[in-house]
Amino acid sequence: MAHLSVVKAVEARLAAGFNKCTVYVENSFTETPDEAGAWALLDFPWCRAEWITADEFEEEGGFRILIAADSGSGTHEARAWLDEIAALFRGQSFEGVQCYAPQSPSTNDRSANGSFFTLSITVPYKFVIEG
């Protein structure tokens, strides 16, 4: 699970730099949003930490941004939004979080999900935890 400092820094950067649709954070709703139009979800599916000095630990992980587009609306707009989000983080360092290159938007065999079609990117990061 990602360090709280990473979560807060990423949430703030995404909120300040992207406003094309509503962005939810993990565990912020109990049912699939039923609003008209696309929405996004930010979550932190993986990380690991390694002891690097007497009082420092390096966390490596990835945070995911998923766009849920209306079924049947195509994917060009959602891909453009994910490209915009990727540019917010690609190679950037902020509040101690060092981001690397996210992959291009991906789909899978579960992307068609009722009223929505989902695409996502994962942004790899590192963060040094002191103490």
**4-130 adopts what CATH topology?**
STM4215-like (3.30.2000)
Over the stretch 58-108, which tens digit does the pLDDT of each residue have?
999 999 999 999 888 889 999 999 999 999 999 999 999 999 999 999 888
Q: What is the mean pLDDT of residues 13-41?
A: 87
What percent of the chain stands above pLDDT 70? 98
Residue 97 CB contacts under 8 Å (≥ 6 apart), including other chains: 5, 6, 9, 10, 125, 126, 127
Write down the pLDDT at residue 35: 64
Question: Nearest CA to 6 among 126, 91, 90?
Answer: 126
CA angle 20–107–104, rounded 5-degree value: 65
Using CA atoms, how far apart are residues 98 and 8, in angstroms rounded to an integer? Answer: 14
Is residue 118's pLDDT more than 70? Answer: yes
Residue 2's SS3 state is coil
Using CA atoms, how far apart are residues 79 and 10, in angstroms rounded to an integer? Answer: 20
Q: What is the mean pLDDT of residues 31-55?
A: 87
User: pTM value?
Assistant: 0.91
Measured between alpha carbons, how far is residue 117 from residues 38, 39, 49, 96 in Å? 9, 11, 33, 34
- Provide the residue ranges of all domains of the chain, joining segments of one domain with +: 4-130
Write down the pLDDT at residue 1: 80
Rg (CA), the chain: 15
